A and B are shown apart, each in its own frame.
Chain A
Amino acid sequence: MEKKEKKKKSKSKLWMTVAPLYIFTILFVVGPLIYMLNLSFMTRAEVWGVVKKFTFDNYLKIFEPVYLDTFIESLKLSLATTLITLVVGYPFGYFMAKLSAKWKKIMMLLVVVPFWTNALIRMYGWIIIFRSNGLLDKALIGIGMTEKPLKLLYSYPAVLVGMVYSLLPFMILAIYSVAEKMDWSYIEAARDLGASRLQAFLTITVKLTLPGILSGVVLVFIPSMGLFFISDILGGGKIMLVGNLIRDQLFTTRDWPFAAALSVVLMILTSLIIMLYRKITHVRDLEGIL
């Protein structure tokens, strides 16, 4: 075939592959996004709904200390969650990628299947184990390690553990799907050239799995900012995160414009952080995800 014809054909085929994504994105993401942006500049109606009165107030309100603090607290929790998930999940995905073909498939299912159980029920499972006079207490008191029941739940650490637990499979699978295709011969070559295990790991493995780390971080960090039911159930409802705040504003205060403004700021914040992360890790050939 002529080179020019070949190029034309491949270009039209290219359009076919991205077209569904584009159409879907424009219809069901851009559209709603514009609506949300629009909403954030309106004013809460007295009883229900909104009044089309343009205002910046909603954005200004976010700077009040009580609401600003909520953002900061959520950020701290999300960063902590993401870090811990990375530290715990990376080795898991890495080791998983080195298993035999049969075991890889089994592990993938084993990692995801628990998450087909309803999240609420899983949380109750944790509660049954960790609450005062729960299973853990009974075991510890039984072997004489403690006398009074521990008060482990309904605290910040409990929420952190719950978040890590819920988001771990995303990190694991993100790392796994990139580590799995890694060419181990690179490592062997580095070792042959005299690098220690640690050096080989840091310079080669980490670099090669960086795209996976990035998707893992994105898939964990972003949802963690919005999750509210974990802090409600495991935290005893005591921790007000941005997700809770948005929910309260939407349902209890019925201030939809403020909730929309909070969401827009949340979105911008998370985008900035991802962009920053990309810059720091010099991931240039990682096209996409900003």
Chain B
Amino acid sequence: MKIKKIIAAFLVIVLSTSMMVGCSGEKKKEVNLYTWADYVPADVIEGFEKETGIKVNYSNFETNEEMLAKLENSKGGDYDLVLASDYIIKIAGEEGLLSELDKSKIPNYSNIDSIYQGFFYDSENKYTVPYAPGIPLIVYNPEEVTCEITGYESLWDPSLADSVGIMDTERVINGIALKTLGESFNTEDLDAIQKAGDKLLELAPNIRILSQDQTQDYLVSGEISVAFLFTSQVALALQANPNLKVVYPKEGLGFGVDALFIPSKAPNSENAQAFLNYILKGEVGAKISTQTYYLCPNKASYEFLPEEFQKSLVISAEDIPEGEFIQDVSAEATQLHNKIYTEFKAKLN
């Protein structure tokens, strides 16, 4: 009967398509990279593939936590190279998901500028290669802003009602409030955190946008007049409008690093080491930084960086020791952070 034939044909198509896409055939030379889309520039990937003949499978995640959930689930397998943020690398380490780098396979490792190493998530420099270090800064439009901006506290100024934009990141926003009270980003003192929460409620009228994406766009387009931006966003904002002013918050700087590591059961760890070696080359490091707009952690790249680029990155090495990482805190503190953030958001309406 005709219908039976149709069903049979349908099943054949379904099965064969799924098998085709699922099967890998003979073992090709490949490396599975896992990070945000376009974070590793296309020309870097192409350059690597051409030079080594190893294919790069570039998978994406949206948040660090999704990455860790997947990595836990695969018990450190499936992925060869993960590029993620500092605090999640620390947790991954505690969960036993990192594998030690074989530096003999990465001769270019010595190109790394040591001021970007030895941090809390990899204090002995055994597991990671820094990729994108940065310091978030305040940027404002002097034509629209009448008050003086010197630090986080300035964001509370009443003249900035409905004009401020910050990234929608709980620990960053709570952290700013903590800093204005003289506390550390990572205090586990529940009273201090609660006080910061109360202070945050006063900030609410000034917030126009809690952004998920490119906060600097809103500053450049005139939707907001003051923004708290990540390093790459600072550079892009200044590129679009050189008249914008940058402020180093006097209460204390934050600092963050996105870094690469090889998971404990990576299927192609040799190829992963080869990739790390490739991106640590001088010229490649320069290609990366001029496209990601973060600080360049590669000493050997400095000579390759174009001059205008060096100027647009307003942060220098001396600022680094000043910066405080936002780190994971106790379960209780973490839960309180979410509570005050939820209350803050409720006040925004």
Residue numbers of A with Cβ under 8 A of B are: 44-49, 64, 66-67, 69-70, 73, 131-133, 149, 151, 153-154, 156, 229, 232-233, 236-240, 244-245, 248-255
User: What size tier do the contact residues of chain B reach?
Assistant: 35 or more
Q: Contact between B222 and A132 (Cβ–Cβ < 8 Å)?
A: yes
**Complex Cα spacing A69 to B346, Å:** 8
- 6 examples of A-B residue contacts, CB within 8 angstroms: A48-B68, A131-B221, A132-B222, A249-B338, A253-B337, A254-B334
**Complex Cα spacing A73 to B91, Å:** 34
Residue of A nearest to B204 (CB): A238
What is the total of A-B residue contacts with beta carbons within 8 Å? 95
Q: Which residues on the A side are within 8 Å of B223 (C-beta)?
A: 131-133, 153-154
Interface of A, helix, strand, loop or mixed by DSSP: loop
**Complex Cα spacing A245 to B335, Å:** 12
Q: Contact between A248 and B341 (Cβ–Cβ < 8 Å)?
A: yes
Q: Which residues on the A side are within 8 Å of B94 (C-beta)?
A: 47-48
Q: Contact between B338 and A47 (Cβ–Cβ < 8 Å)?
A: no
Tell me the smallest distance from the CB of A19 to a CB of chain B, in Å.
Answer: 14
Q: Indicate the member of A46, A66, A70, A153 with the most B CB atoms within 10 Å.
A: A66
Q: Contact between A149 and B222 (Cβ–Cβ < 8 Å)?
A: yes
Answer yes or no: B105 CB below 8 A from chain A CBs. Answer: no
Q: Which residues on the B side are within 8 Å of A153 (C-beta)?
A: 223
Q: Contact between B91 and A44 (Cβ–Cβ < 8 Å)?
A: no
**Complex Cα spacing A44 to B328, Å:** 14
Tell me the smallest distance from the CB of B162 to a CB of chain A, in Å.
Answer: 7
Residue numbers of B with Cβ under 8 A of A are: 63, 65-66, 68, 72, 91, 94-95, 162, 168, 170-171, 207-213, 221-223, 328, 330-331, 334-335, 337-339, 341-343, 345-346, 348-349
Q: Which residues on the A side are within 8 Å of B349 (C-beta)?
A: 156, 238-239
- Known contacts: A70-B342, A131-B221, A237-B168. The answer to whether A255 contacts B335 by CB under 8 A is yes
Residue of B nearest to A250 (CB): B65
- Known contacts: A154-B208, A237-B212. The answer to whether A46 contacts B331 by CB under 8 A is yes
